[in-house]
């Protein structure tokens, strides 16, 4: 079996040069020089932050969340989770540039539902802090981001957001990874409405959604065969199925967080302000299908 070294020589050479010159560089310049690396190499550098061998670089990059935090929020951690994260970011990167004809490096980007900053870290490969924003309805998420040293503009939002704390319209790219896979129909409808007010003309919205096959691999121990069948039937009949997490506190009388599946046809029919430009998936994380949407003129 082929083993992978902890750091390739060409990567360490770049880091050594940056570390040597770091005293004369400001944070933005250090991050810009790190973009000499490939996306995957940059991601692996982030995974190992802070790195005692590179204290000056470590001072301008966020610390990686602990394995415990990663598992709590995603169910996985380490290099396996990093591969999934990089696959999503690369897919969105290429799709944004292909569909808009613009460089991602010039975009204003919002991570909608940023969690502990899993994807915010990787998006630092493309843009400086002034172009990258994150928001989440859970205060614990914002706190985890700040504790790790993520210095982007981070905002706490409502679970049922009628309005988001941004100038309208603001963003060329908004992505929501593993957000609509957890929302009730009411919460999803509210979120789509709020996002429609802050996306720039011609901007791209990338969301992930679950296919019906998700219910067959659902890890919940309390999901009986009868409930699984009912959810699959609801998905096939309506294009949408939702199973609330019973341990969640109601929001305005409803449990809005759980597990959800939906079809592209349902998205197009229900959120009619948006046009679906296309859908795709990657084999690293096949149950997180990606839909790309643009607001209708």
- The reply to whether 4 falls in a domain is no
- The reply to whether 3 falls in a domain is no
Q: Per the structure, how many domains does the chain have?
A: 2
Are 134 and 53 in a shared domain? no
- The reply to whether 241 falls in a domain is yes
pLDDT of 249: 76
- The reply to whether 1 falls in a domain is no
Lookup: tokens for 283: 């084999």
Contact 123, 111 (CB under 8 A): yes
Residue 246: is its pLDDT beyond 90?
Answer: no
pLDDT tens column, 59-94: 999 999 999 999 999 999 999 999 999 999 999 999
- The reply to whether 2 falls in a domain is no
pLDDT tens column, 36-51: 999 999 999 999 999 9
Rg (CA), the chain: 20
Q: List the CATH number of the domain containing 234.
A: 3.40.50.150
Residue 1: is its pLDDT beyond 70?
Answer: no
Average pLDDT over residues 267-293: 96
Residues spanned by the domain of 154: 67-295
| Main-chain phi, psi angles of 156, to 5 degrees | -90, 130
pLDDT of 2: 46
Are 147 and 42 in a shared domain? no
Task: Compute the distance between CA of residue 89 and CA of residue 69 in angstroms, rounded to an integer.
Answer: 20
pTM of the model: 0.95
Are 23 and 149 in a shared domain? no
Are 47 and 87 in a shared domain? no
- The reply to whether 157 falls in a domain is yes
- The reply to whether 97 falls in a domain is yes
Lookup: tokens for 223: 């999901």
Q: What is the mean pLDDT of the chain?
A: 94
């Amino acid at each position: 079996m082929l083993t992978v070294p902890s750091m390739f020589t060409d990567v360490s050479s770049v880091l050594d040069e940056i570390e040597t010159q770091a005293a004369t560089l400001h944070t933005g310049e250090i991050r810009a020089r790190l973009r000499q690396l490939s996306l995957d190499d940059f991601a692996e550098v982030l995974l190992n932050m802070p790195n005692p061998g590179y204290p000056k670089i470590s001072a301008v990059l966020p610390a990686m969340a602990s394995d415990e935090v990663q598992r709590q929020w995603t169910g996985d951690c380490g290099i396996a989770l990093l591969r999934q994260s990089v696959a999503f970011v690369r897919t969105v990167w290429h799709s944004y540039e292909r569909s808009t004809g613009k460089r991602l490096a010039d975009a204003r980007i919002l991570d909608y539902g940023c969690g502990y900053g899993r994807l915010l870290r990787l998006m630092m490969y493309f843009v400086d802090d002034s172009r990258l924003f994150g928001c989440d309805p859970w205060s614990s998420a914002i706190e985890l981001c700040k504790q790790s040293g993520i210095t982007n503009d981070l905002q706490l939002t409502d679970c049922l957001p009628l309005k988001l704390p941004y100038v309208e319209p603001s963003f060329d790219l908004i992505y929501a990874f593993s957000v609509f896979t957890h929302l009730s129909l009411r919460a999803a409808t509210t979120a789509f409405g709020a996002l429609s007010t802050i996306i720039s003309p011609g901007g791209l919205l990338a969301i992930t959604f679950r296919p019906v096959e998700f219910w067959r691999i659902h890890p919940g121990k309390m999901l009986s065969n009868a409930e699984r069948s009912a959810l699959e039937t609801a998905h096939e009949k309506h294009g949408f199925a939702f199973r609330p997490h019973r341990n969640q506190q109601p929001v305005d009388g409803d449990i809005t967080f759980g597990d959800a599946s939906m079809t592209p046809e349902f998205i197009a029919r229900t959120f009619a302000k948006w046009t679906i430009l296309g859908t795709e998936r990657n084999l690293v994380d096949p149950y997180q299908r990606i839909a790309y949407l643009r607001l209708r003129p």
